[in-house]
Structure 1
Amino acid sequence: MKYLLKWPLALVLLLPALSIYSQEEHNEPEGHHEETQEPGHLRDVFRNSHLHGHIRNYFMNTVNRGDLKDYYTNATGGAVGFTTGNYKGFEAGVKGIFTYKTFGNDLGMEDPITGKNARYEYELYDVLNKGNFKDLDRLEELFIRYRFGNSYLTYGKIETEYTPLLNHSDGRMKPFAHRGAWAHLNLGRPHQFNLGWLNGMSPRATTEWFNFEEGLGLFYNGFQPDGHEAHYHEFYPSSGMGIFNYRYRRDNFTFKVYDYYMDKVMNTLWTQVDYEFKDFNLGVQYVYQSPFSYNEDLNYQHRYVQPDENGQVLSSQLSWQQSRLRFAFAYTHAFDSGRFLFPKELGRDNFFTSISRSRLEGMGDVDVLALKGEYAFLKPKLHFGVEMQQILGAQPGDFKYNKYNVDESFQVNTHFRYNVEGFLDGLSFDLLWVYRENQNQKDAESIFNKSNFNQINFVTNFYF
């Protein structure tokens, strides 16, 4: 906590912005508003428009163990979106987002022991252009949408709809963004469908747009199962990803299925069942992955997934909630049939045991346990939550099931959120404290900016 003691005034002066640590399922895109009287002139379409956005300030401080170097930074920015009024079902929208570094230490300064520099703090800016802290704007949305009944069709640079793998993941200054077409078909209870085809992406913590061939593998490629470094970036002429989602809901029972077809690469089938009884909720997720034959035509080191890999994951959760108090226990098992893989450039996995700063992607033949508790106060509107996670079976050096060579670990996340009421409605403050510890390898190279650290995230948000 060395640097936190230096910045009490900075924390008081933080500007407002968005909540970042929960990912909810939304059926209506941002900017949706009730249809008004049918406009008689073109100018009425703009008079009935909707302006929305946010202002955000994010302070992050990673405190590494002992003499390993610590990093801190403060990013300020926001987003402004404009959606036209509705004319015969049609509407259009545009949204831009920007970020600046307001203060912090030198993120490029190398740690004298490991020779490495900052990791998480760079993710508030542009991880593909480290050192750029000012020219960080992005055209996040530019779309046309047609509404009919409770359904809609959207095309362009669109707000990312929620799925357990492909999602907004709004946990930095810039979230994941996607380009393509999306159809939301609400046929009334109990049936709902979503169909999408995406041909472009702008990954979280970046400012540029990429097609799928360019985007796959932009980030660290990890290792192949034989232990050699993977190099699959720009080896897949993929035209995009197709998404199918069906949801069935009746009484206390909900069934969801998601299918992700990534051209030339693989198919991922995600199924989920939830059942509520009295104060309890039982959820089960099962995922099965199938690589496509195109992988066989590539050299071993250039493959994203090996032809004999079939990632399988079973995740379950039992939760209890009464009034404003909630407890949950979750267990996930990744089978030894292959590593569970999903491009980091597209989203983050949301298994029942997935928590901030820890996901399952890249692992197989492991077990993950999670215990969660949260309480919501009414006056003031304060939310407090604690998550504890244990990863068992991850063996450093066993690259067959360990793409990023991680160790077994124990992690605790503590989260406070305060939502302001009255005149300042829309203003919120989030505080996330992360502690993570390796269970076996604790040398400097293995833990620097990866584990055995404390991290403070303080975010001020204002929606408008």
Structure 2
Amino acid sequence: MHLKRKSYTLFWGWLLFFSGLTLTQAQHETPVASDSLNMLEAESHNPERPIEALKDVFGLGTISGHVRNYFMNTINQGALTDYYANAIGGAMRFKSHRIFGFEFGATGIFTYKLFSNDLNKEDPITGGIAEFEHQLFDVLDTDNFNDLDRLEELYVRYNFKHGYATYGRLAIEDSPLKNRSDGRMKPFAFNGLWLHYDLLEKHRFNLAWINRISPRSTVEWFDFKEGIGLFNQGFQPDGTEAEYHEHLESEGMAMLEYQTRISNFSLKVYQWYLHHISYSGWVGVEYENQRWNLGVQYVLQLPDSFQSTLDYEQRFVQPEERGQVISGQIRYRNPDWELRLAYTQALATGRFLFPRELGRDNFYTSVSRSRLDGFGDTGVLTLSGDHTLGIDHFSAGFDYTRAFGPEVDAFAFNKYNLDAYQQFNLKLHYALKGFFEGMHFEFLYVYRDNLNNSEPEVVFNRANLHQINFITNFEF
């Protein structure tokens, strides 16, 4: 632990050193785009600079980051225990300018508990403790509220004419299954190799190999062999508790992505291979004009043959399972508001399964606190809307989603033993301007209600609950 603390002290010292060098040249520098999807476009404004002294290697760069405060309160059904917590933290990122096509970057992130009730207090009825509030800190060490720093990025990148190659702890583009999903204090983070290539401006390729992960709401880095199954492992189709953690012998994940756009149509194709676990193929097609968007997504999952060599309870996916999902959306928008209607169907050929340690699924019906992972033979309907309230920096939105099909103790298509449910989200967002530009306030209210089963063990921290989230972000 002392060695870990010393390493972080050195890291923050280096960042402060970089900051001092960078700020002396700030009037000549161009800030780095914060949106990773626009990363390549930002490179065109990041020309190579002459090196006249060693300090130029570090001084020709930019510092960016954020400060974040998150208050969360989960109000459970009836006499079940309620929890609340407030976390505060931030991140600082250094990114160098190009040097003969090369650049490097580093990001450190930290979190502290400002206040809370006793998150480890056992509910007298179910024996459970806080779940969502622990996700603000370290879900793998529920007594850890202060030693919560993480070296999130440390990479070197080589830029060439039509793309770049990056190695290390990566700042990556999100994909529909593997993503940062940064709705808490610490997002998902990945280590590996990332290759980006643009062909003729209309064809985008990403190729990646990820061999280490640091899941959301954790502070440590893990190899794939130990990283998959850190969270709730759920149940096997026959009701046996799943025990695949540290049995999968997986070395990593490969991903191939292709995107193109032709007139009003866009196409996205993804292929993920989880070594020794599964293959997942994703195809998405959308038509869009100024007012309307029509889209469809299809996913097919096949198990890796290695799964059949494991004991039944040690398998992530059973050999006979073929997870399939179809999701569709229709969206209408004008300058002030937007409405979306979406439906997703997980077919009865198997459960849709993807490790929760790698991200959250993003189907058209996926909203905060509601995902499809673990379901088969299930339908989900979602109606969403957003409205700009007269001023462009104040907006409000809602989501209503309803899941049809899941039944408690019907494990064949229900990995996490959830009931059919309905959920309502209310969202408010306010961005300050002028002197306080960069500061954002977000409010999220969640109400989730089981449709059939209200037993305390089924609903505790899962359903029949209200949740209040208030987040303050300052980005610089």
Calculate the TM-score normalised by the size of structure 1. Answer: 0.93
Q: 2:188 aligns with which of 168, 176, 183?
A: 176
State the Cα distance separating 1:84 from its structure 2 match: 1.3
State the Cα distance separating 1:189 from its structure 2 match: 2.9
Q: Could you tell me which residue of structure 2 aligns to residue 35 of structure 1? A: 46
The whole-number CA distance in structure 2 between the counterparts of 1:135 and 1:384 is 36
Question: Relative contact order: is structure 1 or structure 2 higher (C-alpha 8 Å, sep ≥ 6)?
Answer: 1
User: Would you say the 8 A contact 1:30–1:159 is kept in 2?
Assistant: no
Q: 2:471 aligns with which of 450, 459, 464?
A: 459
Structure 2 gap ranges (5+): 1-33
The whole-number CA distance in structure 2 between the counterparts of 1:449 and 1:150 is 48
State the Cα distance separating 1:31 from its structure 2 match: 8.6
Q: Could you tell me which residue of structure 2 aligns to residue 240 of structure 1? A: 252
Q: 1:322 aligns with which of 329, 334, 353?
A: 334
Q: Could you tell me which residue of structure 2 aligns to residue 363 of structure 1? A: 375
| Residue 70 (structure 1) aligned with residue 82 (structure 2) | yes
The whole-number CA distance in structure 1 between the counterparts of 2:163 and 2:378 is 40
| Residue 216 (structure 1) aligned with residue 228 (structure 2) | yes
The whole-number CA distance in structure 2 between the counterparts of 1:246 and 1:370 is 27
Q: What letter is aligned with 1:39? A: P
- Seen in structure 2, the aligned counterparts of structure 1 residues 49 and 378 have a Cα distance that, compared at 3 Å, is farther
1:412-458 Cα distance to aligned partner (Å, 9 max, x none): 01000101111111100000000000000011111111000000000
Please give the residue correspondences for 1:391-402 in structure 2 after superposition, counting only pairs within 5 Å: 391-402=403-414
Q: Could you tell me which residue of structure 2 aligns to residue 105 of structure 1? A: 117
User: Would you say the 8 A contact 1:54–1:78 is kept in 2?
Assistant: yes
Q: Could you tell me which residue of structure 1 aligns to residue 282 of structure 2? A: 270
* Identity of matched residues, %: 50
User: Would you say the 8 A contact 2:40–2:163 is kept in 1?
Assistant: no
State the Cα distance separating 1:151 from its structure 2 match: 1.2
The whole-number CA distance in structure 1 between the counterparts of 2:193 and 2:390 is 40
- Seen in structure 2, the aligned counterparts of structure 1 residues 76 and 30 have a Cα distance that, compared at 3 Å, is farther
1:349-377 Cα distance to aligned partner (Å, 9 max, x none): 00000010010000000000000111123
The whole-number CA distance in structure 2 between the counterparts of 1:47 and 1:445 is 56
Aligned to 1:361, the other structure's residue is in SS state coil
- Seen in structure 2, the aligned counterparts of structure 1 residues 130 and 317 have a Cα distance that, compared at 3 Å, is same
- Seen in structure 2, the aligned counterparts of structure 1 residues 252 and 30 have a Cα distance that, compared at 3 Å, is closer
Structure number with the higher helix fraction is: 2
Please give the residue correspondences for 1:124-143 in structure 2 after superposition, counting only pairs within 5 Å: 124-143=136-155
State the Cα distance separating 1:380 from its structure 2 match: 5.7
Q: Could you tell me which residue of structure 1 aligns to residue 452 of structure 2? A: 440
- Seen in structure 2, the aligned counterparts of structure 1 residues 30 and 341 have a Cα distance that, compared at 3 Å, is farther
Please give the residue correspondences for 1:220-299 in structure 2 after superposition, counting only pairs within 5 Å: 220-299=232-311
- Seen in structure 2, the aligned counterparts of structure 1 residues 149 and 258 have a Cα distance that, compared at 3 Å, is same
1:25-55 Cα distance to aligned partner (Å, 9 max, x none): 7141799682245323332232221101110
| Residue 348 (structure 1) aligned with residue 334 (structure 2) | no
Q: Could you tell me which residue of structure 1 aligns to residue 37 of structure 2? A: 26
Aligned to 2:403, the other structure's residue is in SS state strand
Calculate the TM-score normalised by the size of structure 2. Answer: 0.91
RMSD (Å) for aligned C-alpha atoms: 1.6
Q: What letter is aligned with 1:443? A: E
The whole-number CA distance in structure 1 between the counterparts of 2:145 and 2:164 is 38
The whole-number CA distance in structure 1 between the counterparts of 2:200 and 2:38 is 12
Q: What letter is aligned with 2:142? A: K
1:374-399 Cα distance to aligned partner (Å, 9 max, x none): 11235261111000000000111110
User: Would you say the 8 A contact 1:138–1:208 is kept in 2?
Assistant: yes
The whole-number CA distance in structure 1 between the counterparts of 2:415 and 2:158 is 42
Instruction: Give the number of aligned pairs.
Output: 442
1:219-272 Cα distance to aligned partner (Å, 9 max, x none): 111000011100000111111100000001022100010000111110000000
State the Cα distance separating 1:165 from its structure 2 match: 0.3
The whole-number CA distance in structure 1 between the counterparts of 2:397 and 2:35 is 16
| Residue 45 (structure 1) aligned with residue 49 (structure 2) | no
Aligned to 1:296, the other structure's residue is in SS state helix
The whole-number CA distance in structure 1 between the counterparts of 2:328 and 2:263 is 21
The whole-number CA distance in structure 1 between the counterparts of 2:378 and 2:66 is 39
Q: What letter is aligned with 2:164? A: Y
State the Cα distance separating 1:160 from its structure 2 match: 3.0
Q: Could you tell me which residue of structure 1 aligns to residue 170 of structure 2? A: 158
Question: Quick check: 271-280 or 450-459, which moved more?
Answer: 271-280
| Residue 413 (structure 1) aligned with residue 425 (structure 2) | yes
